[in-house]
Amino acid sequence: MDNKEIILDVQNLNTTFTSDRKQIRIVKNVSFQLKRGTSLAVVGESGCGKSVTMNSIMRFLGHNATVKADKIQYNALRDGKVTEYHLESIKKPHCPEMRALRGPEMSMVFQDPMSSLNPVYRVGDQVAEGLLQHNKGMTKKQAREKVLEMFRKLGIPDPEERINCYPHQFSGGMKQRVVIAIAMICNPELIICDEPTTALDVTIQAQIMELLKEMQVKDGKSIILITHNMGLVAEMADEVCVMYMGRVVEFGSLEDVFDRTSHPYTQALLRSVPVLGLADGQKLETIPGATPNPADLKGGCEFADRCSFCTDACRAKDIPMFEVSPGHRVRCLKYQDYPEVQ
């Protein structure tokens, strides 16, 4: 696949945090590709490193984080021509190159709308800010028109009036629409959504997800969706990346991961959610044990202690990725008959 088809190519991403002089590796050799115009769901239990992975790509991490990767390549497509950005070589999160990309090319929608919005600024001004920053010749009046257009597109009622309101005058669902408007106003191609609907009630969740799906399908956006909700994954995702303790343990198309599940952790994860394929009388299961403390890991498969298929070989050394079928990869020795891949 060439750079026109791949919008984001991440190879061997590692993120380490330093606290109390100790270093803890949270993201470990994460590799994946996002196909242009498709959506990728990133799933896994709380604390497995989903957000840190995405924040490492966007360079939204604090000073105690060290991000290293063989490749974090963003391929911008403008007028049929691809421009490659090698984000792995970026040293400072706030450098001009990164600032130029965030907004017009890639943007992020966070879980809690209140922490993304400034309570003392009118919502219209907050949405217009990115536009004015990235389009030097644009007047405030032109920016206002663009914001109104975006509010209409996102189904915010009475946009002329609401544009002058403060965040506290909006409901949770409307606030999240404003956050999406901020992310979308510069028309980025890649949108990373970090549990964008967790703080919202179920009906509003569905509306917001429908909106994101529409953007992906109609406007050809590429979406990464971090979520715990397997129902959303089934509705939204073209491909699924399963993470456990900072590693990708399974990656493939939605059908590969859901119907031809190959990692015991993915199997356990799918059996522990209420929405998928439970036959009558079948009980919902919990994943035995708890996620280990990242500081206590000794090498070998991180899932070994919780896995009923575990053998001594699983604990002996780090487990490579195996290719189950083209595009479907799994990090499990149960699949050692398959060819080893990166």
Ligand X SMILES: Nc1ncnc2c1ncn2[C@@H]1O[C@H](COP(=O)(O)OP(=O)(O)OP(=O)(O)O)[C@@H](O)[C@H]1O
Which residues lie near ligand X (CB under 6 A)?
17, 19, 26, 44, 46-52, 62, 64, 294
Give the nearest distance from C-beta 206 to ligand X in angstroms: 20
Q: How far is the CB of 293 from ligand X (least distance, A)?
A: 8
Q: Report the nearest approach of ligand X to the CB of residue 111 (Å).
A: 8
C-beta of 92: minimal distance to ligand X in Å?
A: 17
Backbone phi and psi for residue 292, each to the nearest 5 degrees, phi listed first: -70, 160
Residue 239: closest CA among 7, 4, 3, 58: 7
Give the shortest CB-232-to-ligand X separation in angstroms.
13
Whose Cβ is closer to ligand X: residue 172's or residue 292's?
A: 292
Judged by beta carbon, residue 101 or residue 226, the one nearer ligand X is 226
CB of 19 to ligand X, least distance (A): 5
Q: Are 294 and 48 in contact (CB under 8 A)?
A: no
User: Around 64, how many Cα atoms within 13 Å sit in the side-chain half-sphere?
Assistant: 11
Nearer to ligand X, 75 or 229 (CB): 229
Q: Which is nearer to ligand X, 165 or 297 (CB)?
A: 297
Minimum distance of ligand X from residue 95's CB (angstroms): 20
Q: Which is nearer to ligand X, 44 or 124 (CB)?
A: 44
Q: Give the shortest CB-52-to-ligand X separation in angstroms.
A: 3
> Minimum distance from CB of 318 to ligand X (Å)?
19
Q: Name which of 48 and 123 has its Cβ closer to ligand X.
A: 48
Q: Which amino acid is at 153?
A: K
Measured torsion, CA atoms of residues 106, 7, 58, 122, in degrees rounded to the nearest 10: 10
> 86 — alpha (psi -120 to 50), left (phi > 0) or beta?
beta
Q: Is 94 helix (H, G, I), strand (E, B) or coil?
A: coil
User: Which tokens is 125 given?
Assistant: 């001004």
Question: Tokens 């497995």 identify what position?
Answer: 48
22 vs 91 by CB, closer to ligand X: 22
SS3 assignment, position 3: coil
Chain-centroid distance, C-alpha 118 = 23
Place of tokens 């975006």: 150
Q: Which is nearer to ligand X, 110 or 335 (CB)?
A: 110
Structure token digits, residue 285: 């299961």
Three-point CA angle 264, 267, 270, nearest 5°: 150
Which tokens hold the place of 88?
């792995």
Beta bridge partners of 91: none
Which is nearer to ligand X, 36 or 247 (by Cβ)? 247
Tokens of 269: 């994860």
102, 172 contact by CB (below 8 A): no
One-letter amino acid for residue 152 of the chain: R
